[in-house]
Amino acid sequence: MQGTVPTLGGEKTMLDDSRPVYTIGTAAELLEVHPRTLR
C-alpha cells in the first residue's frame, strides 16, 4: 500500500505497512475467536 494516499472523510491519510491495523485482541474480538487462534 506504500505510495498510495487513501482518503478518510476528505482528509488524506497514510497507513504504515509496518504497523498493525488492529491488536491481536481486537482482531480476535471482531472475528469472535480466541486470540491464540490468530497467533
For the ranges 5-9, 18-22, 31-35, the one whose mean pLDDT is highest: 31-35
Please, what is the average pLDDT of the chain?
81
For residues 4 and 14, give the distance between their C-alpha atoms in angstroms, rounded to a whole number: 8
pLDDT beyond 70 at 9: no
Average pLDDT of the residues in 9-33: 85
- Does the predicted TM-score (pTM) go above 0.75? no
Which band of pLDDT confidence, cut at 50, 70 and 90, is reported for residue 8? low
Composition of the chain by helix, strand, coil, percent to 5: 30, 10, 60
